[in-house]
Homo-oligomer: A and B are copies of this chain.
Amino acid sequence: MEKTMEQQKETAQLITPSQLLEHWLGHRRVTRRVIEAFPEKELFTHSIGGMRPFSEMVNELLGIAVPGLQEIVSGKTTELQEHFDHGNSKAKVLEAWDKSTEEITKLWNKITLERFQENIVLFGQYEGSVQSSIFYFIDNEIHHRGQAYVYLRSLGIEPPFFWERN
């Protein structure tokens, strides 16, 4: 049955696309503060138990978010690419982060509500729906950022508040 835009707007939504975008952007603001909290050197070198330095985890996040959304919007499969040249500069990582945030916002508005339930195979290998893929992007950011909190604490640095999203 066809519905007008007006009718769709009236229907209850668990979470709307604009709410989910704001939720994600709130998390990205926290992650940005976590990047900032690292000393210049330790962002690229500090590690516990053989894990990657946080800069490498951030590269993974950068490699997933915009390329993933681009693929969702365009329908064109791209290859997962997680290596950016940040030249061990925190300023460059933050710049890439901000550029990625801008791109996410632009791409988001091209995803209609109907598309979130569509099945896709992301980066040619990850099967799921548009919504499950996007939740994976967000959850993966929270997961690695949680690890960065331990890195910061082990360096004697107090991380930003987890619940402060502005």
Contacts and interface: CB of A to CB of B under 8 A. Distances in A.
A146 interface: yes
Interface stretch (A35-43, A45-53, A74-82): A45-53
Contacts of A135: 15, 23
A54 to B, nearest CB: 11
Contact of A143 (B7, B153, B162): B162
Q: How many identical subunits does the complex contain? A: 2
Q: Is the interface of A mostly helix, strand, loop or mixed?
A: helix
A3 B14 contact: no
Given A49-B156, A146-B142, A146-B143, A12 B8 contact: yes
Most interface-central of A19, A50, A114 (chain B CB within 10 A): A19
Contacts of A3: 10-11
Nearest to A22: B132
A10 B7 CA distance: 12
Contacts of A156: 49
Nearest to A146: B146
Contacts of A149: 143, 146-147
Interface in A13-35: 13-17, 19-20, 23, 27
A42 to B, nearest CB: 13
- Which 6 residue pairs across A and B have the least CB separation, nearest first? A146-B146, A49-B153, A150-B150, A49-B154, A143-B146, A11-B11
Interface of A: 1, 3, 7-8, 10-17, 19-20, 23, 27, 48-51, 113-114, 116-117, 131-132, 135-136, 139-140, 142-147, 149-156, 162-163
